Amino acid sequence: MGRLKTILLNRYSLTGIAFVVWLVFLDDYHYWGQRKTVDDLRALQEQQRYYDSSIQLMNQEKAALELDTLLLERLAREKYRMYKPGESVFWFPDSTNTQD
């Protein structure tokens, strides 16, 4: 007990303990801040992978639209409700889509 007390009261030990407490709890780069930063980084990397795959899929769709004019026409008619001049188009509401 006496030896442990002298070791803990040694100025080098006190300085070391204070240094560890400072690094773990009080510093700008404390443990929990670093952990949160790593978690945020992982979430951003996952989001980047999602957007990279979305971009790749959209580039494939773009290439398909550039090559196939029938697909382009179908997309224009269905998504953007375009029609040829002089053509009558009747739109029926979709039972699953209540926004229209």
16 domain-assigned: yes
How many domains does the chain fold into?
Answer: 1
Count Cβ neighbours within 10 Å for each residue of 38-55 and write b for 16 or more, e otherwise: eeeeeeeeeeeeeeeeee
92 domain-assigned: no
41 domain-assigned: yes
DSSP single-letter state for residue 26: I
- Give the mean pLDDT of the chain: 87
84 domain-assigned: no
In the chain, what is the straight-line distance between the N-terminal and C-terminal CA atoms, in Å?
80
34 domain-assigned: yes
The pLDDT of residue 99:
60
Q: Is 100 helix (H, G, I), strand (E, B) or coil?
A: coil
Alpha-carbon distance of 83 to 74, in angstroms, equals 10
CA nearest 5: which of 20, 15, 14?
14
Work out the number of other CB atoms within 10 angstroms of the CB of residue 4: 8
Q: What is the pLDDT of residues 8-47, one digit of tens each?
A: 778 888 888 888 888 888 888 888 888 999 999 999 999 9
18 domain-assigned: yes
94 domain-assigned: no
Q: Which domain holds residue 24?
A: 2-79
30 domain-assigned: yes
Alpha-carbon distance of 85 to 63, in angstroms, equals 27
Any idea what the Cα angle at residue 54 is, between residues 51 and 56, rounded to 5°?
Answer: 110
Q: What percent of the chain has pLDDT over 90?
A: 36
